[in-house]
Amino acid sequence: MLTGRRIVLGVSGGVAAYKAAYLARRLVEGGAEVRTVMTAAATEFLGTQTLAAITGSAPLLDLFGGDDPSPHTNLARWADAVVVAPATAATLARIAAGMSEDALSTTVLAAWGTPVLLAPAMHTEMWDHPATQRNVATLEADGYTLVGPESGALAGGDEGPGRMAEPEAIVAALVRMLGSGDLAGWRVLVSSGGTREAIDPVRYIGNRSSGKMGNAIAVAAAARGAAVTLVTSVPPPAGERLPIDVVSVETAQQMAQAVWSRAGDSHVAVLAAAVADFRPRDPAGTKLRRTDGTPAIDLEPTPDILQGVAAMSPRPFLVGFAAETGSLDEAVAKAQRKGVDLLVANDVAKEGSGFGTETNEVSLIMPDGTTEPWGLMSKREVADRLWDRIRKMRTGDPH
C-alpha cells in the first residue's frame, strides 16, 4: 500500500531505463505521488516527456538554471522514499562514495535519513567486479536497501546476473522497506469542512470552508501508518483506496456527536473543521418565500466541539484550528481559553491562505501563547510538518 506516499524515482543511464516508465506507472497506480530525477545519460535511453506524462511532473535534470535555488534538498525533504532504478555501476559508486556529481547523486546524498531503495542493472562482469561488490557492501552497511539484480537476458544478447529487478518486485520491496510508518499504532481523529445550519429545507447558514486542509491532514496521517477517522461535511479525499474511515455529517450537532463519541478512543484529535458558531433556533419546516416578507431568524449557539474534547478525561492530544481575518491575537487567546495542546491559525483574508486554496500560510500557537509562523506552502506540506510536530510533542522525541 503506497497511498499518499511521496516517492522520488531516480533513473540513471542504462538500457533498463525503459523499465522506469512502467515502474513509475505502477507507483502511481499504487496511490503514490511520484517525482523523478534523471541523469544526462538516462535521457539517452528514456524521454523526459514520458516520465512527465506518467507522473504529472517534469523530471529534475540539472541543479542550475531553474526557479528553485536548491532543487535537490527540496526534493529530498519532500520524499518519503527514494528509488533508483536502474542504478548503474557508476551510480552505485557515486552514492557509495558520497559524491554529488549530478542531480541524481546529489538528491540521494541530500536524502540521508530517508529510506533509499537501489535496483542495480549492469552487465555481469560489471556486477561481479570487486569494486562494485565493495560499493554494494558499503551501501548496505550505510543502510541502503538493494533489490536485485536478477539473472536473465542482458543488453547485446548476453545472459547472466545483472538484469534489473522487474517493476513489480521493486514496488514490493519498496512497500516492505517503508513498513507501516512513524504513526503506526496511532488512532487519529480529524474533522474537516464547514457545517450547514438549516434556515428552512432549502437554505442554510454556512461558510466557505472547502475541507482541503483537514482532508490533507487525514491523508498525511494515513500515509504515515495511522488508523484515521475523518468526520467531514465534504467529499472524502482521493477516492476509496485511502485507508480512512469516513463519517459524513452536515450540521454542527451531527459533527459534535460524531467527534465526541470517537475522541475518547483516539490518541490524537485534529479538529480542522470550520464549525458554525450559531444556528437558527427554530428552522422553518417549509420553504420561506419572498412574498411573506423578510423573516426574523433567531440564532442560538452551536455545541463547542473543541471545548468538549478538551474537557474529556482522559482526552486525546488535541489540535485546534482558528481561521482569522487580519490579526491573530484572538487565536492566541483562543489557544489559552480552549486548553488545546496546539492551535493552528491562519489569516483567511491573506492571498494564498484563504478558503478553497491549494496553499496555506499558518502559525502554530502553543498553550503558553508563543507563536511560530510558517511560510506559504501547499496544504499537504503543512499537514506533514504538522504531524512531524505532533509526533515530537506527543512522544518527546527531539528528532
User: Can you state the angle between helices 89-97 and 130-141, rounded to 10 degrees?
Assistant: 50
Other CB atoms within a 10 A radius of the CB of residue 146 amount to 18
- The three cell numbers locating residue 57: 511532473
In the three-class reduction of DSSP (H, G, I as helix; E, B as strand; rest coil), residue 218 is classed as helix
**Cβ–Cβ < 8 Å for 181, 224:** yes
Q: Residues with Cβ < 8 Å from 190, sequence gap 6 or more?
A: 214, 217, 218, 221, 228, 229, 230, 231, 269, 270, 271, 272
Burial class (CB in 10 A: 0-12, 13-18, 19+), 112: exposed
User: Can you state the angle between helices 379-395 and 212-223, rounded to 10 degrees?
Assistant: 60
Active site amino acids: 207
What are the angstrom distances between the C-alpha of 398 and each of 18, 26, 34, 243, 388?
Answer: 42, 36, 29, 28, 10
Q: Establish how many alpha carbons lie within 13 A of residue 172's alpha carbon, considering only the half-sphere containing its beta carbon.
A: 7
Q: What values do phi and psi take at 135, rounded to 5?
A: -65, -40
| DSSP summary character for residue 25 | H
